[in-house]
């Protein structure tokens, strides 16, 4: 049996709608889908190491594991919550979702899978055995019943600008990428990395990124999107000698970037904007999020999940084909809402 481990944030949905576009094949493989909304690089690293370790402990050879990781935004934290405040949360099975496990036709089978991986509480909070983690800057306080936990999160967020400065977040981001790279290489595990959007270049001196400025929002509202040159902006490695040293240790040959003459490290957003345009974001949006004037398109707006199959075919398929075998794809009626987030809409029990 072969195992594909997939992780990331809400942009780590590589396999969420695969079954709408391919019937899979008869090969023996499973997909362990660890992605979790609003998480960052620490979660990506931690979830993969946790899942890989579980598989190896159960007797799976590292040669039978392939890891696909979507790296999210550097600003996202992944903080362990105090255990003494989380007992009720861990035991509240009404709101806990298991890690998705998919078979070779990309249908869910986690309820019968013998190994337990990461659990998710109300989508945003992750549970590793008896440990609970959250990006508490994105947490909805109302989702937690324990009032002590409310106080802890409020106090953490109050002090976060001091304890987690922009430079700290950038350095932790690259360190997490290097940590996971080192873990996978040391175990001889094949892997592919890609980005939510360009987090490696396009920085102003104040650490803000071009992707999230008013100028960029205006650019992507044009009928035809051509993203501008980032050559005159800062690279992530330019902000400290530590970042430069870590950057030099990262193996970019296992990253898959959308490159143009204007930038070198494009991710899903850049790929979608220039390859497919506004339809890809409109088709993936909630009806109430679509503006009356202009387009819903922006960085972080979540494109229709069919786009991930194109990205997979363009960048990952040839590399993983010897691992999982041949797949045939059918993009008929590709922008249908029923073919977006379909793994939750059409749970094949």
Q: Coil, helix or strand for 95?
A: helix
* Angle formed by the axes of helices 41-57 and 166-186, nearest 10°: 20
Residue with tokens 């979660």: 43
pLDDT at res. 348 = 44
pLDDT at res. 84 = 94
**Residues for the chain: how many in total?**
349
State in Å, rounded, how far the first CA of the chain is from the last one.
21
Using alpha carbons, list the distances in angstroms from residue 113 to 68, 116, 128, 194, 329.
20, 8, 17, 28, 27
β-pairing, 125-128 with 100-102? unpaired
Q: Phi-psi category of 123—alpha, beta or left, where left has phi over 0 and alpha has psi -120 to 50? A: left
CB proximity list for 214: less than 8 A, separation 6 or greater:
none
Is the Cβ–Cβ distance between 228 and 262 less than 8 Å?
A: yes
Residue with tokens 């109300």: 122
pLDDT at res. 345 = 65
Q: Using one digit for the tens of pLDDT, what is the confidence trace for 66-117?
A: 999 999 999 999 999 999 999 988 988 899 999 999 999 999 999 999 999 9
Q: Using one digit for the tens of pLDDT, what is the confidence trace for 315-346?
A: 999 999 988 999 999 999 999 999 998 887 65
β-pairing, 201-203 with 234-235? antiparallel
A 10 A CB-CB count for 225 gives: 18
CB proximity list for 67: less than 8 A, separation 6 or greater:
4, 5, 6, 7, 48, 52, 184, 189, 190, 191, 192
Q: Using one digit for the tens of pLDDT, what is the confidence trace for 282-328?
A: 999 999 999 988 899 999 999 999 999 999 999 999 999 988 999 99
Q: Using one digit for the tens of pLDDT, what is the confidence trace for 265-286?
A: 999 999 999 999 999 999 999 9
Please give the full DSSP string across 191-256, using - where no structure is assigned. Answer: EEEEESS--SEEE-TTS-BGGGSHHHHHHTTSSS--PPP-TTSEEGGGG-HHHHHHHHHS-GGGB-
- Integer Cα distance of 281 and 232 in angstroms: 28
Q: Coil, helix or strand for 105?
A: coil
Residue 128 pLDDT more than 80? yes
Low-confidence winner among 129-143, 161-175, 220-234 (lowest mean pLDDT): 129-143
* Angle formed by the axes of helices 241-249 and 166-186, nearest 10°: 20
Which two tokens mark 35?
A: 């992605």
Is the Cβ–Cβ distance between 2 and 32 less than 8 Å?
A: no
- Integer Cα distance of 126 and 118 in angstroms: 7
Rounded to an integer, the average pLDDT of 222-231 is: 94
pLDDT at res. 343 = 80
- Between residues 115 and 347, the one the model is more confident about: 115
pLDDT band at 349 (very low <50, low <70, confident <90, very high): very low
A 10 A CB-CB count for 196 gives: 23
Is the Cβ–Cβ distance between 29 and 2 less than 8 Å?
A: yes
Q: Which long-range contacts (CB under 8 A, 24 or more apart) does 278-285 make?
A: 278/223, 278/225, 279/335, 280/304, 280/306, 280/307, 280/335, 283/335, 283/336, 283/337, 283/340, 284/340
Rounded to an integer, the average pLDDT of 53-59 is: 98
| φ, ψ dihedrals at 199, nearest 5° | -105, 5
Q: What percent of the chain has pLDDT over 90?
A: 84
pLDDT at res. 138 = 84
């Amino acid at each position: 049996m072969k195992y594909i481990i997939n992780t990331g944030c809400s942009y780590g949905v590589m396999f969420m709608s695969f079954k709408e576009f391919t019937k899979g094949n008869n090969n023996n493989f499973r997909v362990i889908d660890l992605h979790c909304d609003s998480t960052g690089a620490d979660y990506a690293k931690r979830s993969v190491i946790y899942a890989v370790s579980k598989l190896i402990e159960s007797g799976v050879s590292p040669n039978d594991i392939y890891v696909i990781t979507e790296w999210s935004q550097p600003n996202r934290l992944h903080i362990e919550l105090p255990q003494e405040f989380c007992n009720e949360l861990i035991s509240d099975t009404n709101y806990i979702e298991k890690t998705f496990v998919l078979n070779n036709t990309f249908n869910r089978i986690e309820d019968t899978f013998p190994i337990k991986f990461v659990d998710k509480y109300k989508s945003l909070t992750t549970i590793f055995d008896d440990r609970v983690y959250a990006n508490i800057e994105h947490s909805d306080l109302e989702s937690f019943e324990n009032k002590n936990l409310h106080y802890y999160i409020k106090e953490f967020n109050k002090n976060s600008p001091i304890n987690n400065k922009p430079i700290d977040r950038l350095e932790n981001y690259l360190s997490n990428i290097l940590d996971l790279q080192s873990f996978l290489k040391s175990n001889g595990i094949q892997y592919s990395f890609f980005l939510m959007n360009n987090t490696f270049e396009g920085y102003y001196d104040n650490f803000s990124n071009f992707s999230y400025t008013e100028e960029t929002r205006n650019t992507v509202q044009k009928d035809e999107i051509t993203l501008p040159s980032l050559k005159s902006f800062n690279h992530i490695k330019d902000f400290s000698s530590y970042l430069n040293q870590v950057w030099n240790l990262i193996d970019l040959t296992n990253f898959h970037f959308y490159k143009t003459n204007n930038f070198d490290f494009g991710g899903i957003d850049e790929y979608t904007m220039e390859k497919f345009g506004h339809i890809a974001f409109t088709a993936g949006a909630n009806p109430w999020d679509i503006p009356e004037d202009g387009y819903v398109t922006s960085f972080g707006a979540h494109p229709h999940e069919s786009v991930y199959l194109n990205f997979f075919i363009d960048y990952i398929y040839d590399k993983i084909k010897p691992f999982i075998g041949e797949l045939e794809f059918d993009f008929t009626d590709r922008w249908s809402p029923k073919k977006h987030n379909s793994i939750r809409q059409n749970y094949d029990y």
